[in-house]
Amino acid sequence: MSIDSEPPGRAERRGEPEFAARPQLSDDVARYVRRRIFNGTYRAGEYLRLDQLAADLGISVTPVREALLNLCAEGLLIQQPRRGFVVLELTARDIADVANVQAFIGGELAARAAENISDEQLAALRGIQDELEKAYEQDDLERTVRLNHEFHRTINVAADSPKLTQFMSGITRYAPESVFPTVSGWPKLSIRDHRRVIAAFERRDANRARLAMAEHFTVGVAPLTDHLIERGVIADAEGRAPSEAAGGA
């Protein structure tokens, strides 16, 4: 199930597949809710009802409950007895903290990959990047998210460091991956950074790979923060919502 999928009722009308009954269904639901938190559909303080969300998605309550509990563990929701799950407020510091951890771990993974990557893996990485750039040109959001994930996964496999990769996977759940392609100027930055990483791999230069990857994760903090402020997902630096910052009611 794509993170961009709509509830089955609307998806059917658009000719898209419904949620499928499978073990990772709760992960699909978590991605669905996480995306809507980061795009401002679900606002801070809003209650998410198990039965209503399950009905909207056309699935049972069980995977929805599991998904929302997982999002509680991520700090995106909080459960209130007899009232449901509440969306928590995000801050600019949250965004920066996640990016900084990604930069540290991702940089080390890239450095190790530079030393280990095979010619076949490097060729595969170039091919993925070519497809990713085409997807950016075509404004294919779902495909850009998938290919970007595949790009980083290929690097992590080449790094041959399972524990670090596990840590990276854990922290990446806190990053709004599906939002980045919609951030103004991000495709250009992403392409530049990915090419720098590939160039470092071609030279088998671990230090350059580490620096290029670390910058890739941190350079997006400011534009992503501005993007989320504009959409009312997080408050501005002075703690005001966008309408308040502009002098609105």
pLDDT in tens, 25-59: 888 898 899 888 888 889 889 999 889 999 999 99
Residue 168 confidence (pLDDT) above 80? yes
Per-residue confidence band for 1, with pLDDT thresholds at 50, 70 and 90:
very low
Pair (110, 60) in one structural domain: no
Pair (52, 67) in one structural domain: yes
User: Which of 3-17, 85-99, 192-206 has the lowest average pLDDT?
Assistant: 3-17
Pair (125, 181) in one structural domain: yes
Q: Is residue 75 part of a domain?
A: yes
CA distance 28 to 115: 35
What is the helix (H) or strand (E) element at residue 61, kind and residue range?
Answer: helix 61-73
Task: Find out whether 229 and 236 touch, Cβ atoms under 8 Å.
Answer: yes
What confidence score (pLDDT) does residue 207 get? 98
CA distance 134 to 164: 30
Q: Is residue 77 part of a domain?
A: yes
What confidence score (pLDDT) does residue 107 get? 98
**pLDDT tens per residue, range 91-141:** 999 999 999 999 999 999 999 999 999 999 999 999 999 999 999 999 998
Q: Is residue 235 part of a domain?
A: no
Q: Are strands 84-87 and 47-48 parallel, antiparallel or unpaired?
A: antiparallel
CATH of residue 18's domain is 1.10.10.10
Pair (98, 15) in one structural domain: no
What confidence score (pLDDT) does residue 21 get? 43
Which of 41, 56, 87 is the endpoint of a domain? 87
Q: Is residue 243 part of a domain?
A: no
Residue 192 confidence (pLDDT) above 80? yes
Residue 19 confidence (pLDDT) above 50? no
Pair (188, 72) in one structural domain: no
Which of 32, 66, 87 is the endpoint of a domain? 87
Residue 201 confidence (pLDDT) above 50? yes
Pair (104, 209) in one structural domain: yes
Average pLDDT estimate for 168-174: 88
Which of 59, 87, 115 is the endpoint of a domain? 87
CA distance 244 to 186: 27
Range of the domain at 55: 8-87
Pair (82, 193) in one structural domain: no
HSE-up (13 A, CA, CB side) for residue 178: 16
Pair (104, 212) in one structural domain: yes
Pair (100, 207) in one structural domain: yes
What confidence score (pLDDT) does residue 68 get? 94
Pair (106, 222) in one structural domain: yes
Residue 241 confidence (pLDDT) above 50? no
Nearest 5°: phi and psi at 4?
A: -95, 0
Nearest 5°: phi and psi at 47?
A: -90, 135
Please count the structural domains in the chain. Answer: 2
Per-residue confidence band for 13, with pLDDT thresholds at 50, 70 and 90:
very low
What confidence score (pLDDT) does residue 174 get? 84
Q: Is residue 16 part of a domain?
A: yes
| Tokens encoding 62 | 């069980």
Pair (198, 119) in one structural domain: yes
Q: Is residue 18 part of a domain?
A: yes
Pair (107, 50) in one structural domain: no
| Tokens encoding 227 | 């993007």
